[in-house]
Amino acid sequence: MIEILSALKPIFALILFGFFLKRRKIVEDHFWPAVEKITYYLFFPCMLATTLSRASLKEFSVWPMLAGMLSAIFVITIVLLVTKILLERWKKVNGPLFTSLYQGAVRFNTYVGLAAAAALYGEDGIALMAVGVAVCIPTLNILCVVILSYYGHRPDDDHAPSLGMIFRQLIRNPLILGCAIGIAAQMSGLGLPGVLGQGIEILGRAALPLGLLAVGAGLEFSVLKRSGLTVYVSSALRLLIMPVLTLCFCLFYGAEPLSISVALLFQSLPTATSAFILAKQLGGDHEVMAAIITLQTLLAAITMPALLIASQML
C-alpha cells in the first residue's frame, strides 16, 4: 500500500506543478501548446519505440489482458448507446452532451498511464502499458469518431469524417507509429541500432515529465462551476465502473497478475486531454469535456491508488 502511494505521489505532484506554472504565468501561455505538440509527436513515440524494442513480451500472455480491457470498453459503449436511445424520447441528454459523456467514460490519459506504469512496475509495466496503448488507441479513436460523427453538432454535414479519413488518422497517429517501430525492432532481433537507438532513447526520457506538466497546465477549474450531472456520471464510469469491469473480465480470461495490475491501472486513468480537441473539431460539447477532464484528473489522485490497493487485497 505504501509503495503504491509513494509511486503515484510524484506523478500528481508534477501535474499540480504544471498547473502552478500555468496559473502563475512563469512561462508564456504559448509555451504549453508547443510542449504538448512535441511531446505527443516526438518524445512519447520515442519512449514507446525504445521500451517495446527491448521488451521481453514473450514472457507474458498479453491476449487475456487485452481481451479484458476491450471487453470492458465495448460493454460501456453498448450500455451508454442503449441508454441514450431510451432517453431520447424524453430528450434528457442532447447529442453533443452525450459525445462528451462517452469520451470521458472510455478514453484514457496516456501521459499519466505510462508515468504510473514506470513508477509502479518498471520496464515490464511500461511494455505492457504500451501494448495496451497500441491496441486501445485505434479502437477508441474509431468508436469516438463514429459516435461524434453521428451525435455531434455540425452545421455542415459535408465535413463528417469518412472511413478513409479515420483510417488515415490512425496510420499517422504518432503513438501507434512509435509502438509499431518498437515491436518491429523487437521482433527482428536487431533492436534500435547504434547512435539512432541511443538518440531515440534520450528523446524518450523527456516524455514523462513534460507530459505530466502539460496535463497540469491544461486543468481548468473555472469550468467545474458550470458543469452538470453529466460530468459526474462520466467520471464515475471512467474511474470506478470501467476498472471494476476490466478486473472482472481479466480474471475471467485468466490474465497473469502483472497484466491484471497494468490493465487495472490503464482503465483507472483519467480521460485524455485530447478529447477536448476532438470534441471541438467534431461538434461535441467541448465545455463539458473540459470540465470532465479537470474533474477526473483531480479525482484520479484518490481513485487510482484506492483501486490498486484494493486489488492487492483480493
Nearest to 10 by CA among 115, 129, 114, 111: 115
53 close to 197: Cβ distance less than 8 angstroms: yes
Nearest to 129 by CA among 69, 184, 78: 69
C-alpha cell of residue 153: 453538432
Alpha carbon of 87 to those of 81, 84, 283, 292: distances in Å?
A: 10, 5, 20, 21
Count Cβ atoms within 10 A of the Cβ of residue 127 and give its class: 0-12 exposed, 13-18 middle, 19 or more buried.
Answer: buried
CA 104/CA 108 separation, integer angstroms:
8
Nearest to 184 by CA among 67, 59, 54, 42: 54
Q: Over its length of 314 residues, how does the chain's per-residue pLDDT go in tens digits?
A: 667 778 888 889 999 999 999 888 888 888 988 988 898 889 988 988 888 887 766 667 789 999 999 999 999 999 999 988 877 665 566 788 899 999 999 999 888 888 899 899 988 888 898 888 888 888 888 888 788 878 876 555 445 556 676 677 667 778 788 888 888 888 887 778 888 888 999 999 898 898 889 888 888 887 777 667 889 999 999 999 999 999 999 999 999 999 999 999 999 999 988 788 778 777 788 888 888 998 999 899 999 999 988 887 76
**CB under 8 A, 24+ apart: contacts of 149-156:** 149/282, 150/95, 151/84, 151/95, 151/96, 151/98, 151/99, 152/95, 152/96, 152/99, 152/279, 152/282, 152/283, 152/284, 153/95, 153/96, 153/283, 154/282, 154/283
Secondary structure (3-state) at 113: helix
Ramachandran angles phi, psi of 37, nearest 5°: -65, -50
Number of residues assigned to the chain: 314
84 close to 187: Cβ distance less than 8 angstroms: no
286 close to 276: Cβ distance less than 8 angstroms: yes
Nearest to 276 by CA among 264, 295, 263, 290: 290
Look up cell 452532451; give the residue: 97
Give the model confidence (pLDDT) of 31-58 as tens digits.
988 988 898 889 988 988 888 887 766 6
Which CATH code fits 2-312?
1.20.1530.20
> What pTM does this model have?
0.83
C-alpha cell of residue 297: 484528473
Secondary structure (3-state) at 190: coil
CA 103/CA 166 separation, integer angstroms:
16
CA 265/CA 263 separation, integer angstroms:
5
Count Cβ atoms within 10 A of the Cβ of residue 117 and give its class: 0-12 exposed, 13-18 middle, 19 or more buried.
Answer: buried
Instruction: State the maximum Cα–Cα separation within the chain, in Å, rounded to a whole number.
Output: 63
pLDDT above 70 covers a percentage of the chain that reads 90
Task: Check residue 173 and report its DSSP letter.
Answer: -
